[in-house]
Structure 1
């Protein structure tokens, strides 16, 4: 079974232009993510999907493969769909390009769960830690049922709390590793527009609800630490320094 990892990397980010090329301790962030994916899936199965030649040039200079995609992709998953039309695989893993401290084992676990649940989209999640604020809109919060099927995902704290005197719930956040098959990506990409709630939340996985494609959430072994704004770079660098062996 062929499984490939695709890292969407858009240069023209509205919140942080050029983010994939920001250096994390001297290494471009997109390369740090590519190295993690390569540890899990092999360098030959690692691809960066981008609309910008500056990113392509850096990726190839480090010996990784780049796939050029259009400038009009609505989301990273739309960019992955464009790659799927060019490269045959059984499982397409979408790994966000702003997650430079992911555990390679989590990528493998997501792929294994896709084999186990072939008719589900697979996505990662983990509990918020004590230093993370559920009200932070940069952290999509996850609500699942007892079988870890996704009920909803929101930038607001979910579940909501009616009675503040009660014990607070355990909040979970999304970890941006996804697994799809070709037909799931086809449904997503050919919709050509964002779903109604996707537009408000700016959470692309919500689009699959409109196609009645179930989503299975998988606990990851370590927390993600995404670079959403320039201030996050220092936090990531400190994390890496603290975990150097």
Structure 2
């Protein structure tokens, strides 16, 4: 087995004196689909934000592709890591095409210049299950589910090896959510991308993840394949969490 694509080494982080992560160490292999679940305030989003240097640890270090993120250019790092969140955050004054092209364009990716930009944006729209005709529309004209898919397309545009997803499907209806789950599983299989996916839904975590990370009070309760978690929950907290799925 090669070097982990992401590694947390004795990470501790507190906000306003309140510990959120406590001496957490974790290795994530390239190509994994890691779902992250736990109660509110257990450190799920903090974990993601440490990877792309939106925040820094109080102790320990985060390694991405063998490099300490504290020693890298955070802007360049973020351009290599896709980030999709529940609120989407599309630029309202830009068309769907320009939203999708934003990161590769500012990163100077030549293939996104000129007329080729529309073609690449349309290809990504098809990949996330949308009609390519939407490329010329503005976010305000789209449904919530469509905007969420555009957000995923934008996160994938620079062809990142790592995709961070923070409760990306939490604000859509159940039917749309099921469709989005199918799309992201297919994208993961097609691209072999490493995904960290935060959710509050244990069924979603077990359905999507190749491995599931269960956190409580800033510590790892269990990190294992879904089948292992269902068959051999490591702690009482994990047992309670998965009891509804049996």
Do they superpose with TM above 0.5?
no
Which structure has the larger Rg over C-alpha atoms?
A: 2
Q: TM-score, normalised by structure 2?
A: 0.29
Higher relative contact order (CA 8 A, sep 6+): 2
Q: TM-score, normalised by structure 1?
A: 0.29
